[in-house]
Chain A
Amino acid sequence: MEQIAFFCGAIGALGGAIAVVALKNPFYSVLALVIHLVFLAGIFLLLMAQFLAAALIVVYAGAVMVLYVFVAAYVGGIEEPRWDSSPELKLIGPIAAIALFVAISIAIVGSGLSALSTTGPDDIPAGFGTPEAVGHLMMEDFLIAFEAASILLLLAAVAAIVLAGRRREDPNKLPKGGESS
């Protein structure tokens, strides 16, 4: 039963991820990404990482993807002209992609695959994957990394507001009235 659930989740997640890249319509791509995230959350649940699963759905499917869908639905219908890349980019692009693939492969083979061959720990510690356990990890063991990430996000948010505010100062470019928000 566990295997069936895993393979359903894996096929769904991989299929969703491939569909994101393969589909032509950006709106469907975004929807495929949502499907991918939902199946990924299912796999997290199988791994007892329930807080991570819930956070994935709430934050990504529930907030980030809503914004993506919003944008894709509003401007998605426009046919964009095919963009011709320069010959240098055609050469550098694949090289960079292969280099990234090799780097990630080394990282996975070096660390992750050794765990794949085992059956995993026999006894999962009580409360594994609950919000309490994740909270203890973030606030005690990885406090500096957690704070650094939150400061980075705060900076990005402030920067976004500053950039948006600067554009609004130009009164000629912003149409007045109507549904503005």
Chain B
Amino acid sequence: MATGTDPDVVLEVRGLRTRFRTDHGEVPAVNGVDLTIRRGRTLCVVGESGCGKSVTARSILQLVEPPGRITGGQVLLHPDSRAPADGAPAAAGADAAPADRPLDLAALKPKGKEIRRVRGRDIAMIFQEPMASLSLVHRVGNQIGESIRVHNPVSKKEAREISVGLLGQVGIPNPERLIDVYPFQLSGGMRQRVMIAMALSCEPRMLIADEPTTALDVTTQAQILDLLADLQRRRGMAMLFITHDMGVVAEIADDVAVMYLGNVVEHGSVDEVFHAPKHPYTRALLDSIPRMGGPRRDRLPAIRGTVPDPSTRPTGCVFRDRCDAAMPGLCDTVDPPPIDVGNGRLVRCLLYGGAEGRSPDPQAGTAGDDPRPASPSGKEAADVDAN
């Protein structure tokens, strides 16, 4: 899947592992995640609380705080393919990595100069709670201007003019006046717009949005989503969008990565994943969404059981205890590898291969009620991803 030559790839995450050191040993929060984020496209990472989606997003910019740390994998920031004619490349290229090779962000020091140059300038980030994510005692203009001036040699006055323009672009009325207010004087939606303006201030190639609409009411949520989609289209930005809301995914995503307990269990384009979910977890997630106009049912199907504690990960497939299609003797011993099922879709489930040479426990023959009978065997052997 490595698409080193694809000029549209902005960022590639390969085998990322992030662990948290606790009194009870190391807890893996992200356990070998692969993601590819392309220019002009939105990748939604979706999953339950605690599945590692936020930690993945933070790991990209080395923003995981101790006791968490990245223990493996690569985060490759590909060089800017749009002819960088902004005067900066000469300076940046001289002391940074050679401009024609991808830069591994995971290998940089979390407080070093190199990663700081990427933060905000190449990759910007917005967060879940606009109230808590902005400093309440600094003026809006101060906070936006600061993010401009840290990467660009402009005067305070110029930064202020740029900030006013940005506030206008994100739909804040009367930006000349509101640039001088404090965030606590704004509504939640307005605060998130300020966050977005701040993130866009250095024209990043990629935006990471970590549940940016979760803390907002539904109307505001829709407005913010429209704004993000619109800004992305106009700027051709890549976007990594973290959410637990399938409705948001349907609205904004081009591609989806479904995460479960630190792994991406299914990856594909939004249409394919929504219309033909492969992984039992994805199917269960989609089944548990209430539908308007659909058949009226008494109860929504819920996924039984709870997410296992990441510090005591079960062997084999981590979803098997909650899975209706689990194959005893197989799922509890083999850790499913990512299987390419065509069209760039990856699934981590033994139903689609990855357990060659082993067969399900014959005693427990009739595995579950609907095992989606064994995937076309023989084909998958060739598809097993080398990674």
Does B associate with A?
Answer: no
Binding site for A on B (CB under 8 A): none
